Amino acid sequence: MMLKNKRHVMHALPVIIRDVTMVAVILVVFALFHHVLPRSGKVLQNIVDPNSVATVVPATPDTIPTDAAANNSAVQTQAEAQFAAPTPTSAVYTPGDFTAAFPSADTGVGALHSYQSDDLRIAINMVQANDITYYVADVWVKSISTFKTAFAKGEYGTGIHQEPKKIAQANNAIFAFTGDYCGARNSGVVIRNGDLYRDSVSSDVCVLYADGVMATYSQADFNVMDAVDNAAWQAWGFGPRLLDDNGGAIIEFDSSIKGKNPRNAMGYYEPGHYCFITVDGRQKGYSVGMTLAELSQVFADLGCKAAFNLDGGATAEMLFNGELVNRPYKGGRQSSDIICFGEGN
């Protein structure tokens, strides 16, 4: 009897191996097409009139970026239905103008890197404290059209990646900052330069509206169509949001990455005035990184009204005039998108 059962098992074994192999092949093919191979996407809806958005061009001779105190350490001890066909839109908005609030004085005196023009002011400083090194970029724009985003290789989709430096250079960015790596996922809201590319919501969301206001939302509180109706100019899905509704620091976060890590995050002061922070990490003797609670406290101390965590780790990069400002973990990695600022027409 036992011999007979063994024969049955021996006869069945090749069939089992064949079936398991077929299932494995199917799963590999699915993963390949769904997660690995590049797939282009389309605009679902235009929210803000693209004709009113200036095109980024290289800096003119009278607004050449300057590095203040090149040999100075510049260290500050304190912190300051996937890809559906396009849908017509009935609402078109003109980007906000912040001329009244735009500073007349140079904001980059003594900064590590500075760019000052009639439409854009950037000051980048390095902060070192408690085995942590991070960079704070203070950015003023006269028009929301200067606050741009760009995709790797100029194309939205999944699996499309490029070195952030190359994306920045291709878009003539004076200042660039890695975003939410939207191309690594099949879900999460994506609104870029007034166009809605993806309307699914899978995390906290940060929205920059055409009037210059930046707001953060929990996944449960965010409504894509409300953002569209209120003229969303940019939207990122990553998170978590780093400040409460009153601009206060948050101590506890529902996140799987709570330890000290490299971080990239942005903050909001008022329409036309924004803050970007890159924290280097996982590099003993230079910078160990920050927890989300520590990063939250930095934004609160700076006086930001809202702040949002973007993709960190090896993705966290800050660039000025086409070159790296920070020292990314393992030299950095490719990404699908950046935030960028340059001179417009």
Residue 100 token pair: 């009244």
Tens digits of residue pLDDT in 221-279? 999 999 999 999 999 999 999 999 999 999 999 877 779 999 999 999 999 999 999 99
Q: What is the pTM of this model?
A: 0.79
Say which residue the tokens 């250079």 belong to. Answer: 169
Higher pLDDT, 214 or 75: 214
Higher pLDDT, 260 or 50: 260
Higher pLDDT, 162 or 2: 162
The answer to whether the CB of 38 falls within 8 A of the CB of 160 is: yes
Tens digits of residue pLDDT in 142-161? 999 999 999 999 999 999 99
The answer to whether the CB of 126 falls within 8 A of the CB of 171 is: no
Higher pLDDT, 303 or 37: 303
CA distances from 116 to 85, 111, 246 (A): 41, 12, 31
User: Over pLDDT 70: what percentage of the chain?
Assistant: 75
Q: How high is the pLDDT of residue 43?
A: 86
Q: How high is the pLDDT of residue 167?
A: 98
Examine the pLDDT at 172 and tell me if it is beyond 80. yes
Higher pLDDT, 151 or 60: 151
pLDDT band (50, 70, 90) for residue 88: very low
When pLDDT is averaged across residues 15-23 and rounded to a whole number, the result is 59
Examine the pLDDT at 73 and tell me if it is beyond 60. no
* 243/246 Cα distance (integer angstroms): 8
Examine the pLDDT at 89 and tell me if it is beyond 50. no
Residue 127 token pair: 């902060």
Three-state secondary structure of the chain: CHHHHHHHHHHHHHHHHHHHHHHHHHHHHHHHHHHHCCEECCCCEECECHHHCCCCECCCHHHCCECCCCCCCCEECCCCCCCCCCCCCCCCECCCECCCCCCCCCCCCCCCEEEECCCEEEEEEEEEECCEEEEEEEEEECEHHHEEEEEHHHCCEECCCECHHHHHHHCCCCEEEECCCHHHCCCCCEEECCEEEECCCCCEEEEEECCCCEEEECCCCCCHHHHHHCCEEEEEEECCECECCCCCECCCCCCCCCCCECEEEEEEEECCEEEEEEECCCECCCECCECHHHHHHHHHHHCCCEEEECCCHHHCCEEECCEECCCCHHHCCCECEEEEECECC
